[in-house]
Amino acid sequence: MAGYKGFTEAQAKAHKKYMENVATIQVRTSAERRDAIKAFADASGESVNAFINRAIDETMDAAGPRLPDADTARIKEHVQKTGEEPAAFVSRAVSDTIARDGQLLKMGIDPAKR
């Protein structure tokens, strides 16, 4: 920013602080696709950056929570032994845990603190 006269010292300091918490991700696409993305974002009243961030957020939210790698490995190991489908195993594990937690709660025991 040295030599650029458009920023005051306070603005330069604020910009530097802001940029400390911002990361840049580069996306490669064709010029035609870039133009289509920009046109779509403009028509939606968004910047391209806001549109892309919203699309990422919506996709990640729709996918739901991700398990830690160690848990994923344990599930894979278990279903290989049993032949059960991973989704069926996880569904059963969740149902069993909810039922067990319900019994513990009836006894006045907080299952999250055991």
Range of the domain at 97: 69-113
Tokens 């603190």 -> residue: 113
Same domain for 53 and 74?
Answer: no
Over residues 96-105, the mean pLDDT reads 96
CA dihedral 76, 79, 83, 86 (to 10 degrees): -80
The pLDDT of residue 3 is 58
Q: Are residues 31 and 46 in the same domain?
A: yes
Answer whether residue 2 shows pLDDT above 60: no
Single out the residue in 26, 42, 63 at which a domain terminates: 63
Q: CB of 111 within 8 A of CB of 101?
A: yes
Task: Please tell me what DSSP assigns to residue 111.
Answer: G
pLDDT at 109 over 90: yes
In a domain, 3, yes or no: no
My answer on whether 37 and 76 are in the same domain is: no
Q: Are residues 73 and 56 in the same domain?
A: no
CA separation for the pair 113, 111 (Å, rounded): 5
- What is this structure's pTM? 0.54
Task: Give domain status of residue 32, yes or no.
Answer: yes
Residue 56 has pLDDT above 60, yes or no: yes
pLDDT at 6: 76
Does some domain include residue 29? yes
> Are residue 78 and residue 36 in the same domain, yes or no?
no
At residue 114 the predicted structure's pLDDT band, cuts being 50, 70 and 90, is confident
Report the chain's mean pLDDT, rounded to a whole number. 92
